[in-house]
Amino acid sequence: MSTVFAGMAASLDGYIASAGGELDWLNDAMVRGEDYGFSATMQRTGAYVMGADTYRETARFSGSGGDSTPTYVVTHARSLEGQPSNVQRYSGDLRNLVTELREETDKDICVFGGADLVTQFIDLNLLDELTVSVVPVLLGGGVHFFGRLGEWKRLTLAECKQFEKSGIVLLTYRLNGSEGR
């Protein structure tokens, strides 16, 4: 069965974006030659789920049609700007979406963001795997990744990978007693 996973890069103090929206802190930290798993993540993904804001950001950077993987944008909007054929809007129950996607693909399901959507997936016990790339910087303010949860969620550390040059640490956890299906 597909694993539902999410990943993000955050400063040590837990911000995914600086107060001013700059990305220097992240881009400057990454070192050429270190494999942060972007390509492996794309290869394992059979479907993307993302929020409307994240979709707009992604479309802005990558243009439409950069990737033909089925993509579901969780939104109540009636239409999406420049919507390519692999992108669908979804406004229903997230549990049903996961059930449907698992019928459509044997590959994994990537919850691409934003933070609110990932938090909903966690709260509904729909997320199986979470990777945080801890970037060695303190931003001291900005956008927090993690939102409010209805209850504590215990995690199981699956992998801890340290990058020598950049000092980035990838922490991968399983949720819901999932053993990494």
* Phi, psi dihedral angles at 126 (to 5 degrees): -95, -15
Q: Which is nearer to its own copies, 47 or 115 (CB)?
A: 115
Closest by Cα among 54, 60, 81 to 143: 54
Q: In the complex with its own copies, which residue's Cβ is closer, 73 or 118?
A: 118
Report the residue from 27, 150, 177, 179 that binds its own copies according to the rule CB under 8 A.
150
* Largest interatomic CA distance in the chain: 47
CA dihedral 39, 169, 163, 137 (to 10 degrees): 110
**3-state secondary structure at position 97:** helix
Tokens of 138: 């303190």
Which of 61, 78, 148, 177 is in the footprint of its own copies by CB under 8 A? 148
Amino acid of residue 146: F
Q: Which residue has the tokens 């993904």?
A: 45
**What part of residues 87-126 is at the interface with its own copies (CB under 8 A)?**
122
Q: Which stretch binds its own copies (CB under 8 A): 31-39, 47-55, 89-97, 169-177?
A: 169-177
Instruction: Examine residue 180 and tell whether it contacts its own copies (CB under 8 A).
Output: no
Binding span for its own copies by CB under 8 A among 9-17, 46-54, 76-84, 88-96: 9-17
**Which positions lie near its own copies, rule CB under 8 A?**
12-14, 18, 25, 122, 130, 132, 134, 136-141, 144-157, 160, 162, 167-169, 171, 173
